[in-house]
């Protein structure tokens, strides 16, 4: 981490106070609009060439964050600044040129490919949309991409259902690469795959990153895989970012009780370690994002919950260089809570 801060890092994506609320209407005559705060005031920065991991449990808003950045969803509030341009308020036609630079890999290898299109057409679709290549040139590009993801050009005429999950996921990767993007949002790209296949895909993503200079936003719920692939990790809970740090720092020195619990909940494939480790088991379930707890959203499941937690919402503060956490417990060297120093400002 230290050696990285020395070299000047170029910001590729900056997410500032991003909010995405979904509204659910209920009631027949008097409509009762309720906001589901899927992403509530999230800020982070992604530097060029790095992999930023985003972890959290289902419903924490990590996928919504990814989809809002790429503008599959409209932004409720906040800014998404990609390479100097603010995507958050652009219209769909204004954003189209950026679709060539930001791409996405999806979770479900079965649902993410159109079953009625050949693999070649799936991969070549972006070439057609942006009129990048036609005829023979298009075919060459498709064949190259197929080979790049470890498939062969004969596969171009086949249909998605003929491939295994891992192969399909690689087709999805090839599709996202067709436009030569700078930035790829990987939305749980390995969650639906078998263990031995996960490693294939992760290695491939890492190789491609090196070769093509890609930047990743890697969204997953599997902390061990995220730790493996990411340079920095953000932990989300109920629409909020609760901790951001470099991946080693996050693992060695987690500051937020939720991160601690999340880390200890990972089943370790090592019987001796597993038998001797003490697991922090969180009580209960994630509360509804429609009606989140007051103050700190994690307090209902936190073992250290104090009075202040229900009253004052902790904000994300840099408690060590490059390590951000949002918890009242985090104290500086003088024993003063970082939250106080920030709230007093």
Partner 1 sequence: MADTTIKKELWERIPQDNKDAEVISRPSMTYWQDAWRRLKRNKISMLGLAFIVFMVLFALVGPTLAGHDYSTQDLTLSNIPPRFEIYQIDADTFVYVHSEYKLIDVLEDGTLIGRIKEVQNNLNDKNRVYDIDGNEVFLDYKYAAIKDSSEADAGIKFKLFVNGTEVQPYKTVWNKGHLFGTDNMGRDVLARVMYGARISLSIALIATLVNFFIGVLYGGISGYIGGRIGNTMMRIVDIITAIPLMLYVILLTVIIGTGFKSIVIALGSVYWVNMARIVRGQVLSLKEQEFVLAAKTLGAKTSRIMLRHLIPNVMGPIIVSMTMMIPSAIFTEAFLSFIGLGVNPPMASWGTLANDALSGIRTYPYQLFFPSLAISLTMLAFNFFSDGLQNALDPKMRK
Partner 2 sequence: MADKLLEVKNLKTSFFTHVGEVQAVRGVDFDLKAGEALGIVGESGSGKSVTSLSLMQLLQYPGTIKEGSILFEGDEIVTKSVKEMRRIRGNDIAMIFQDPMTSLNPVYTIGDQIMEAILEHQDVTKHQAREKAIKMLELVGIPSPEKRIDNYPHEFSGGMRQRAMIAIALSCEPKLLIADEPTTALDVTIQAQILELMKELKEKINTAIILITHDLGVVADLCSRIIVMYGGLIMEEGTVEDIFYEPKHPYTMGLLKSVPKLNNDKRERLVPIDGTPPDLIKPPTGCPFYARCQYSMKICQEQQPPFFSAGKGHRSACWLMHEDAPKVEGYSKTFKREVSHGTTD
Binding string, residues 280-299; x marks residues near partner 2 by CB under 8 A: -xx--xx-------------
Q: Which of residues 161-220 bind partner 1 (CB under 8 A)?
A: 161-163, 167, 172, 175, 179
CA 234, 175, 195, 50 dihedral sign is negative
Q: Which of residues 42-61 bind partner 2 (CB under 8 A)?
A: 57-58
Comparing CB distances to partner 1, the nearer of 89 and 343 is 89
When CB distances are held under 5 to 8 angstroms depending on the partner's kind, the choice from partner 2, partner 1, none that residue 261 binds is partner 2
Residue 270, judged by CB atoms within 10 A of its CB (0-12, 13-18, 19+), counts as exposed
Q: What angle do CA 24, 79, 240 make, to 5 degrees?
A: 55
Q: Count CA within 13 A, CB hemisphere, residue 315.
A: 14
Comparing CB distances to partner 2, the nearer of 184 and 261 is 261
Q: Which of residues 81-110 bind partner 1 (CB under 8 A)?
A: 96, 99-100, 102-104, 106-108
Minimum Å gap between C-beta 130 and partner 2 is 32
Q: Which residues contact 179 (CB under 8 A, 6 or more apart)?
A: 99, 100, 101, 103, 126, 127, 130, 132
Q: Total number of residues binding partner 1 (CB under 8 A)?
A: 37
Comparing CB distances to partner 1, the nearer of 159 and 251 is 159
Check: CB of residue 120 under 8 Å from CB of residue 156: yes
Which pair of structure tokens corresponds to residue 90?
């652009």
From the list 66, 124, 160, 166, which residue makes contact with partner 2 (rule: CB under 8 A)?
Answer: 166
Q: Which of residues 179-198 bind partner 2 (CB under 8 A)?
A: 194-198
Strand segments, DSSP code E, in the chain are 11-26, 32-47, 51-55, 77-82, 85-86, 102-105, 183-187, 215-220, 232-237, 240-246, 317-320, 323-325
Q: Total number of residues binding partner 2 (CB under 8 A)?
A: 45
Contacts with partner 1 by CB under 8 A lie at: 67, 70, 72, 96, 99-100, 102-104, 106-108, 111-117, 125-126, 129-130, 150-152, 155, 157-159, 161-163, 167, 172, 175, 179
């Amino acid at each position: 981490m230290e050696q990285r801060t020395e070299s000047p890092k170029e910001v590729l994506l900056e997410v500032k106070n991003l909010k995405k609320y979904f509204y659910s209407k209920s009631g027949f005559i008097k409509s009762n609009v309720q906001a589901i705060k899927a992403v509530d005031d999230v800020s982070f920065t992604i530097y060029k060439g790095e992999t930023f991991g985003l972890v959290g449990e289902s419903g924490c808003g990590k996928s919504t964050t990814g989809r809002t950045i790429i503008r599959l969803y409209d932004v409720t509030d906040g800014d998404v600044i990609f390479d100097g341009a603010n995507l958050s308020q652009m219209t769909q036609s204004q954003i189209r040129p950026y679709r060539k630079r930001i791409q996405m890999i999806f979770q479900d290898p079965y649902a993410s490919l159109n079953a009625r299109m050949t693999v070649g057409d799936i991969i070549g679709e972006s070439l057609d949309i942006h009129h990048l290549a036609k005829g023979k040139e298009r075919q060459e590009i498709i064949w190259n991409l197929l080979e790049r993801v470890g498939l062969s050009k004969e596969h171009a005429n086949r249909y998605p259902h003929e491939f295994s999950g891992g192969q399909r996921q690689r087709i999805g990767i090839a599709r996202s690469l067709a436009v030569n993007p700078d930035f790829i949002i990987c939305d749980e790209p390995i969650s639906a795959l078998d263990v031995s296949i996960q490693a294939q895909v992760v290695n491939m993503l890492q190789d491609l990153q090196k070769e093509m200079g890609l930047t990743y936003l890697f969204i997953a719920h599997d902390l061990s895989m995220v730790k493996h692939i990411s340079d920095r990790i953000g932990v989300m809970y109920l629409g909020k970012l609760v901790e951001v740090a470099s991946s080693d720092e996050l693992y060695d020195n987690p500051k937020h009780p939720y991160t601690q619990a999340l880390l200890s909940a990972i089943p370790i494939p090592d019987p001796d370690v597993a038998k001797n480790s003490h697991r922090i088991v969180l009580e209960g379930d994630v509360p509804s994002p429609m009606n989140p707890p007051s103050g700190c959203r994690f307090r209902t499941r936190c073992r250290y919950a104090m009075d202040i937690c229900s009253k004052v919402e902790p904000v994300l503060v840099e408690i060590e260089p490059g390590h951000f956490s949002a918890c009242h417990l985090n104290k500086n060297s003088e024993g003063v809570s970082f939250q106080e120093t920030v709230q007093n400002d």
